[in-house]
Structure 1
């Protein structure tokens, strides 16, 4: 009898559990099949830049289920006080079913005068996906050390029904910056290849390619341009052309610049590649003359970048005649503790195999020397002095996936590949920026190595600044900061502005951008 009762109780318990499971399944299926309106906002990590008309702030994705319809009449949003001060106008665009931004279908523009914003629009959203974008234009006097925080809270329809917004993404708080050069400025098609240095007066000197006709590399109609800022990058003077090799412009281009400041002589040096005819990477051949091989040329300024010398080739004194090509690595150079001036460089040997290396001067730019490089199939590099007399070369590696790194204590006569080489710093085969700077870290002065690049192995996006607190021996993942997650050309240049601030000058697509970045945001 007892066993029969136990068996009956087990059977009843099983039926109850089966009924509960069936009920739960039916409820879940009903919920799935009767999914309601869904509104999700996403905000990428993208700076908001002075000079750009439509900086993307936020995107709304609105899903309307079958059988429903939303006659949207108002969108409510919230802006922080600094954002209200900085923004000239916020515009709303409707891109329909297209998830990517387009500036063709503007709905409304609002000039913020309060932190609580309302956008009156007239959109009749039928079943399916719909996308609404919010963009901002900054005031000319916006403080680029401030930040914007923007959120969309709710939509209201013509029946006064309220729809709440769910947030995704991490970019709702945005740093500000400056579009130093934009495609189309002065009739120029493309600005590329950023380099940057800081003088003893605190002046920021940026150099770059002025690509007049198209975005292509040398050979072509390309000059080297320079812009100055005397207020830490908040404002920039007009472009000055500092390298123009003359007529015929189409076959006399000069580009890929790098810049350094000599603290002893107070002179600024800029190095670049001159291609007379087809004398860049593809067309340059062994020899020393400008009619057969690309030329490494220099200009200098003795007055903080106001005026510049004529270009002078140093190819005959530096290039091995057997090499196909020899020129600088773009970006920035350094002055060593003992006074030597150093640019990263690259050569393409007699077999057209590229090597990263260096070019240096013992006499403050009167003469220059070079040595063989540490590793084949490496090109654009940057260099720092970790300890007095010890140089670290950080190299673009054509193998892909990672940066290669090597050190020398005898100015390149011998090299040692570093333990972090081709395993630590992800890279999608692109130029990168690399500096050492004495900065304030948690109240104490410290030498820090900063590295900036597209933090990915296969594509150029996620432009990130990383910091090493042990002179490049290791890279703690917590000490890094994503600056711009968009896909773009991806070159960059770093400089120290002051003990608490790093300047970052980088490429968009045919544009050049600048942001000021607190050291405390990079080093956690």
Structure 2
């Protein structure tokens, strides 16, 4: 009997929790270790959101495994600074609820340290169970902070624990600059952003009060301003609102699709937007606009400007008469952002619809063309280029090192229902849009799901010398607006290597984005979620790596 007691004591010591934490320890009742996967999702932690599901834990048991409960989970973070960034950690369980998936908290802690443990009492039913890790950021967290989870240890009721090293992914923070429902607005869409000489970030967007519908609707142009690199944002200002012009209701005087431009030589901000007053509330302006020049007939190309770093703005300025061909059905800006060239020329990307006597390849009534609108006298007069390619719409423009202009265009041939997804169209002009040449990368180098995108140019120090680099952002997906990604090209857009790419948000959104250089080492990007606008700061080194 004494010998039996001694054997039992030795066995209890060998299977106690105080054993090795780095490897799986399997109780005598199990015939095989539990299989565990921890997948870090490519999504940011939004400072304004209480729940941010950043990882998935999958537990797979063997058929004869008798494990009944998950009793604890421990996170090993790479940096003790996590306690200054994260307010709390939650573990969620998914359970069917009215044929939909809803999440329920099963454990949490606000005692955040480099090694953080959550005690649990969670039943494990079935052979496969899934849980979600959610992080809540501190409201004053530095948006440039980064988080890495090096190890996750799961503890079970049969006195076993198992260590897992998740996929290597740096978790970044993000701001929700505009939230759905904020300021009594249903939807915020169509981002544009620039950096002023004073270092201020100026963000513009649609304020869609009633729903997410495009024009014609009750839509104004909103602006948000940050003077600390995007760490905080001032309250929204409405900078373009056509009111009840012509005695018609607000929803018949919507103005939207903004494109922002900064003249760094005169320190003037310009915003272009599309307005029309004649369509009914049931009309979509894209189709209701007709040949002609009056607001009751056709969309109007409107400008507003600020000469005091975005503090105050002019009344809307109508330049339709200067640049629109009366035979065209519609002319509008970008949207997104324009540029100030090295010689001071101001350039907005633009698009127009022209009836060429046959239906568009997309099955539409007219054929659309991307182009540019520009001013050589600091905005006193404006001119327009020719169409770069048929069936192209929303575009962005950059100046290349030789002074030519590159137009990167949404190509409406890229429709998943047409079975053709050949990517962004690209053309170059050396004569301010009078003529265009197809760029070698056109329609194959940058996959897209028929969406607006962003491209900017910057001088970056690479291997000790200054080099012109192009940065591009869009949903990096041929078929859906998922996977918001920034890419870099160091050869004027000929190639966009995989090693010069970073995925910011794998989740689905409305997909539009706009970038700006905050400084020569940091990119700021404003992009769409679903009815919300997100802002992130990305170090150039995170994209270009050891270069």
For normalisation by structure 2, the TM-score amounts to 0.85
Structure 2: unaligned runs, 5 residues or longer: 1-30, 357-365, 415-421
- Report the more deviating stretch, 75-84 or 385-394: 75-84
Identify the residue that residue 486 of structure 1 maps to in structure 2: 507
Corresponding position: 1:372 with 2:386: yes
Identify the residue that residue 404 of structure 1 maps to in structure 2: 425
Identify the residue that residue 246 of structure 1 maps to in structure 2: 243
After TM superposition, list the pairs within 5 Å mapping 1:227-242 onto structure 2: 227-242=224-239
Are the aligned partners of 1:107 and 1:121 in contact in 2 as well (CA < 8 Å)? yes
Find the aligned partners of 2:530 and 2:464 in 1 and give their Cα distance. 38
From 437, 446, 449, the equivalent of 2:470 is: 449
SS in 1 for 2:498: coil
Corresponding position: 1:210 with 2:207: yes
Are the aligned partners of 1:183 and 1:189 in contact in 2 as well (CA < 8 Å)? yes
Find the aligned partners of 1:225 and 1:167 in 2 and give their Cα distance. 44
Find the aligned partners of 2:476 and 2:163 in 1 and give their Cα distance. 31
Per the TM alignment, residue 55 of structure 1 is displaced from its structure 2 partner at its CA by 1.4
Find the aligned partners of 1:431 and 1:72 in 2 and give their Cα distance. 45
Identify the residue that residue 138 of structure 1 maps to in structure 2: 137
Corresponding position: 1:193 with 2:190: yes
Are the aligned partners of 2:38 and 2:166 in contact in 1 as well (CA < 8 Å)? yes
Identify the residue that residue 74 of structure 1 maps to in structure 2: 72
Identify the residue that residue 381 of structure 1 maps to in structure 2: 395
Are the aligned partners of 2:154 and 2:161 in contact in 1 as well (CA < 8 Å)? yes
Find the aligned partners of 1:199 and 1:353 in 2 and give their Cα distance. 36
Identify the residue that residue 59 of structure 2 maps to in structure 1: 62
Per the TM alignment, residue 368 of structure 1 is displaced from its structure 2 partner at its CA by 1.0
Find the aligned partners of 1:348 and 1:342 in 2 and give their Cα distance. 19
For normalisation by structure 1, the TM-score amounts to 0.89
Identify the residue that residue 521 of structure 1 maps to in structure 2: 542
From 408, 415, 425, the equivalent of 2:436 is: 415
Identify the residue that residue 28 of structure 2 maps to in structure 1: none
Per the TM alignment, residue 350 of structure 1 is displaced from its structure 2 partner at its CA by 2.1
Are the aligned partners of 1:40 and 1:165 in contact in 2 as well (CA < 8 Å)? no
SS in 2 for 1:281: helix
Identify the residue that residue 18 of structure 1 maps to in structure 2: none
Identify the residue that residue 22 of structure 2 maps to in structure 1: none
- Report the more deviating stretch, 336-345 or 446-455: 446-455
Find the aligned partners of 1:304 and 1:35 in 2 and give their Cα distance. 65
Find the aligned partners of 1:71 and 1:373 in 2 and give their Cα distance. 65
Identify the residue that residue 260 of structure 2 maps to in structure 1: 259
SS in 2 for 1:242: strand
Find the aligned partners of 2:135 and 2:221 in 1 and give their Cα distance. 32
Are the aligned partners of 2:95 and 2:101 in contact in 1 as well (CA < 8 Å)? no
Cα deviation digits, residues 400-444 of structure 1 (max 9, x gap): 131011111111111111111112111111111011112333443
Find the aligned partners of 1:323 and 1:163 in 2 and give their Cα distance. 70
| Distance verdict in 2 for CA 1:364–1:497, change over 3 Å | same
Find the aligned partners of 1:175 and 1:360 in 2 and give their Cα distance. 37
Corresponding position: 1:433 with 2:458: no
Find the aligned partners of 1:185 and 1:220 in 2 and give their Cα distance. 18
Corresponding position: 1:509 with 2:508: no
Cα deviation digits, residues 6-34 of structure 1 (max 9, x gap): xxxxxxxxxxxxxxxxxxxxxxxxxxxx7
More strand by share: 1
- Report the more deviating stretch, 396-405 or 444-453: 444-453
Are the aligned partners of 1:221 and 1:252 in contact in 2 as well (CA < 8 Å)? yes
Cα deviation digits, residues 308-345 of structure 1 (max 9, x gap): 01112211111111110000011110011111100000
Find the aligned partners of 1:457 and 1:222 in 2 and give their Cα distance. 30
From 324, 327, 334, the equivalent of 2:332 is: 327
Identify the residue that residue 90 of structure 1 maps to in structure 2: 89
Corresponding position: 1:281 with 2:286: yes
Structure 1: unaligned runs, 5 residues or longer: 1-33
Are the aligned partners of 1:260 and 1:334 in contact in 2 as well (CA < 8 Å)? yes
